[in-house]
Chains A and B, each alone.
Chain A
C-alpha cells in the first residue's frame, strides 16, 4: 500500500485504471445485491481466474472420480447393483461435462483444461487417490464421499457466477441418488453376515478421515476463503461445512451399528455439536503432493483413455469435415 501511495502521489490515476476501479465497485455492488454474474459481464480478472481454477478442479474431480467406482462395475454383486453403479458413474461423467462447459464460458478451452489434468498441473479432489479395495468401499463412497460433496455443493447452487450455479443445481439433484444408493449398500452389509458387517466397518475406517478432509484445510489455513466469500463463490467456511457433515453423519453411522474410527469423537452438550479428534493434515498434504496410494494410477488411467480415444476423436472430426464438404458441393451444384 505504501509504495502504491508513493507511486500515485501527485498524479491523476490513468483513465483505464479509473474505469477498472469503477467497474470493480459496480461488480462488487452487484454481487452484494445477490445479482448473478453472467459470462459476458465485466468481472475482475482474479474472479475469473478463481472460478476457472475452482470449476475446473471440480470438473477434474468428477472425471477422476469415475475411476475408483468404475473399478467395481464388473464385480457388482447383482444386476441391480451393477445397473445402479453404471448410472452413478455415468452421472459423474455428466457432472464433469456440465462443469467443463461452465468453465469454458470464462474463456478457457476444453483442450487447455484437459491438458492441465493430464499433465498433472491441475488438482482434483484428493479423495479419489484412495483405492476401492472391497465392494463396501462403493457403499462408503456413495454415503460419505458423495455426502460430503453434497454438503460442499449445495451452497454453490447460490454462487454469484450464473453458469456455475446452474450446473450445480443440476448436479445436486443427481447427487442425492448417489448418496442414498451408497447408504443402502452400507445398510445391506450392516444387516448381513458378520463378515459383511466387518467389511462395512473396514470401509468406514478407511474412508472416514479422507471424507472429513474433503472440506479442505481448516479455516485458519485456508488461503482462498475470505476473498471467495466476498465474491459469493463460497458461502460457508470449510470448518462450518465439515461440522455440519459430521453432525448429520455420526447418527447415520450409529443407525448402521458401525463405529466412527475416532476415539475422541464425542457429543458436546453445550454446543450441540460433535467434537472430533485432531485431523492428520500431514496425510492430506502428502496425498495432495501426489504421494497418495493411487495418484499415479489415476492419472495414468486418464492419459491412457485420452490416448486410446484419440483415433475416435480424429475420425469423428474427419467425418464431420467430409460431410461438410459434401453438403457444400451439393449446394453449389443445385445453385
Chain B
C-alpha cells in the first residue's frame, strides 16, 4: 500500500500580469502544506508572486492516442491566420 502523501501539480505566476505556468509537482499532506512546499521547492529565487497547487488526481488530460482526432481538424484551416490573406504593399495599416 502506497502511503505517500497525495501528489499536487504546481503552477507559478512569475510576475503580476502573467499567467500561472506549470512548473512541476510535489507531495504534501494537504493543500496548505502543498503551497508551503511549493514555495520552498519552486520559488527559491523569486520565480513567483503567486502559486496554484492542484491535486494531480483532479487533472483531466487529453489522451495522446486521440491527439490526431482532436487537433488534426485545425491543421488545414490556415485561413484562420492573418498571413493567409495577400494584401498589396501599398495598403497600409491592415
Contact = CB atoms under 8 A, between A and B. Distances in A.
A87 B26 CA distance: 20
A109 B64 contact: no
A156 to B, nearest CB: 16
A167 B44 contact: no
Size bracket of the A interface = 20 to 34
A91 interface: yes
Interface string B7-47: 10000000000000001111101100100000011001100
B29 A101 contact: no
B5 interface: yes
A283 interface: no
Interface stretch (A54-62, A64-72, A196-204, A316-324): A316-324
Size bracket of the B interface = 20 to 34
Given A94-B41, A94-B44, A167-B24, A316 B64 contact: no
22 contacts: A41-B64, A87-B44, A90-B40, A90-B44, A97-B26, A101-B25, A101-B26, A104-B25, A109-B4, A111-B2, A170-B23, A174-B45, A313-B29, A316-B29, A316-B33, A317-B5, A317-B29, A319-B29, A320-B5, A320-B29, A320-B33, A323-B30
Query: What are the nearest 9 A-B pairs in CB distance?
Result: A316-B29, A320-B30, A320-B29, A101-B25, A110-B4, A97-B41, A111-B4, A109-B2, A41-B64
Interface of B: 2-5, 7, 23-27, 29-30, 33, 40-41, 44-45, 61, 63-64
